[in-house]
Amino acid sequence: MHAPLSVVPVFRRPASVRRRGIAASIAATLVASLLMLIPTATPASAAPVLLSQGKPVTVSSTENGGTPAAAAVDGDTGTRWSSAAADPQWIQIDLGSSVAVNQVVLRWEAAYARAYKIELSTNGTSWTSAYSTTTGPGGNETLNVSGNARYVKLTGTTRATQYGYSLWEFQVYGESGGPGGPIQGGGDLGPNVKVFDPSTPNIQGTLDTIFRQQESAQFGTGRYQLLFKPGTYNNLNAQLGFYTSISGLGLKPDDTNINGDVTVDAGWFNGNATQNFWRSAENLALNPVSGSNRWAVAQAAPFRRMHIKGGLNLAPASFGWASGGYIADSKIDGQITPYSQQQWYTRDSAIGGWGNGVWNMAFSGVEGAPAQSFPNPPYTTLNNTPTSREKPFLYLDGNTYKVFVPAKRTNARGVSWNGTPQGESLPLDQFYVVKPGATAATINAALAQGLHLLFTPGIYHVDQSINVNRANTVVLGLGYATIIPDNGVTAMKVADVDGVKLAGFLIDAGPVNSPTLLEVGPQNASADHSANPTTVQDVFIRIGGAGPGKATTSMVVNSDDTIIDHTWIWRADHGDGVGWETNRADYGLQVNGDDVLATGLFVEHFNKYDVRWSGERGRTIFFQNEKAYDAPNQAAIQNGSIQGYAGYKVDDSVVTHEGWAMGSYCNYTSDPNIRQEHGFQAPVKPGVKFHNILVVSLGGMGQYNHVINSIGSPTSGTSTIPSNVINFP
């Protein structure tokens, strides 16, 4: 808590119906079975990876503004580059650094080259011939080439038609990266990762020093990861401030026992916990000193894979305002008492009980969860989570660091770590350990080489997109590692491949507008990833707050079957660089992929739609939203004939969609007379369903006319009482 339509391109594609036959079903079952393994080490893949997508490209000419050079490397087979109708013409890709190139794929439109050549260069001036032909067939051509190159150039010398040269895609594949040879994996974790064992002297002093620095540094530059080796620790109270993560280094939470507490409170903010963002706890067992551990957090503060041998208190000591939060894969032996927490989502856990509810408390796959009772008390309870895969985490195997990647679970219930943990274990030497000062070119070279990424705590400016093009790549951040795109680039792009895992980092918009900040799959992605989906977990996005930032659309999900498991996408309502146009960000999340599942979706304060869902068969379990506080007047948010943009909109073309436990709040501080037509907008179709949704006017600062479409009672006055719809339609 914290606190819409000029014409812009909307990332979407026509809904498609998949034909998944018997063979696909058998393959999915086999892959799922293979994932259910005890931890094993797997060698880094040396398979060719796509190097060219999203890279800078230059050309001799373009036919018109609708066929730009960049379209040949955008991963979208529905867009193209085309040249002027003359010979010769060329297109050149800059891969960012010299790499070993071994394959070029040309996807020609009807206007192809009869005669052309492929050349390689490490410096852009001296060229080596890699391939040439005078009998090019057009269509899709796969060419095996060999050489080291930063620049790859195609020159057409004879056209096959009267038109220019036209390519849907110009793709370059290779294996190794870095002008100085292969990039080495592994290494130390840097100065802001603090590693403790039970014999470490003055652990409490170190914890207290970091807390004093980070307690109120809401938009500061400090980033810390606290790691505890397996063992028992006595008389500790790890108070967590901003950008501080604490984790155990065992394979299971009970491997690392703290007789003490991991505490978040709100003394720094006069007992108000609504701004306790950006901190996390993971993979520890706690014996709280008082019998109950205090975790008074707001958004972007996950509590994962924890075992509390007692109770868990989610409110500040003063029982002041609180607006959270998220728990997953955790066992709480005692009762969880949320007290003042307005909303909360708990997934795939085991709890001893739940104390109360304010507006919206959701549970999926939770043993011990209260029974379904929305709206009195406001509990939404699903027996299972349809699909889940827990977040990757760092652990110690003896004295060797590894990253454990848990297996996918279907219809999950309870914690994943009873018995032998199921999944895959990756040695640290398969990771490029990214440290502050690393360039985007080096990061991309490491990815192209086949390495995973482990971002150590710090702030990373990137002048080109980080391109994750290899299936099953893990990108894991420690201590809220923060990526800032410079010059309006997209911070990270993921290809339409299986099983990418993005986890544990923050993307902070730069002052030059980025069209997107995170893209999962290119436009028109269509591959079936149901057996091995991409997951986005504890990946947070911020626009403004730490300084001016702008982005048209923050996160775009184009790949089918993606799982978004806990994100907070936030256009800042306070801090530096905040204003209706200063940190302009029209759209929070745009979903174009089919069969996308969101579990724990927090999206707030965007100038237009906070969430827009265009893909088929989407599902959301728990949604928390606030409309932008700073809309200057009614006209600023007018959406055609509709007053305001919905917090969550399902496109009219969508046939099937479902959501549970979803809330939208308004707090129009600049003009409390603003009216918002509804929090939710969706087509009225049998397959589009919502359960237990609500809207709230915070203290009468603006009002909702309805909950969804024209259904549901209006909010009124200053009572801050939700208007609910139990089922739609």
Residues classed as catalytic: 626
Q: In terms of DSSP bridges, do strands 688-697 and 723-728 run parallel, antiparallel, or are they unpaired?
A: antiparallel
In Å, what is the CA distance from 448 to each residue of 173, 404, 479? 9, 22, 25
Per the CB < 8 A criterion, the answer to whether 45 and 499 are in contact is: no
Residue with tokens 């003394």, as numbered in its chain: 267
Per the CB < 8 A criterion, the answer to whether 599 and 566 are in contact is: yes
Which two three-digit tokens encode residue 426? 């990756």
Strands (E), 240-317: 244-248, 256-263, 279-282, 285-286, 292-294, 303-304, 307-308, 311-313
Residue with tokens 């943990």, as numbered in its chain: 421
Residue with tokens 């018997």, as numbered in its chain: 22
Per the CB < 8 A criterion, the answer to whether 406 and 389 are in contact is: yes
Which two three-digit tokens encode residue 652? 């009219």
Strands (E), 214-355: 224-228, 231-239, 244-248, 256-263, 279-282, 285-286, 292-294, 303-304, 307-308, 311-313, 326-328, 331-332, 336-337, 343-351
Q: In terms of DSSP bridges, do strands 360-367 and 343-351 run parallel, antiparallel, or are they unpaired?
A: parallel
CA 55 to chain centre: 22
Phi, psi of 332 (to 5 degrees): -115, 105
Q: Would you call 447 helix, strand, or coil by DSSP?
A: helix
Strands (E), 49-127: 49-50, 57-59, 81-82, 89-108, 113-121
Q: Would you call 406 helix, strand, or coil by DSSP?
A: strand
DSSP state for residue 210 in the 8-state scheme: H
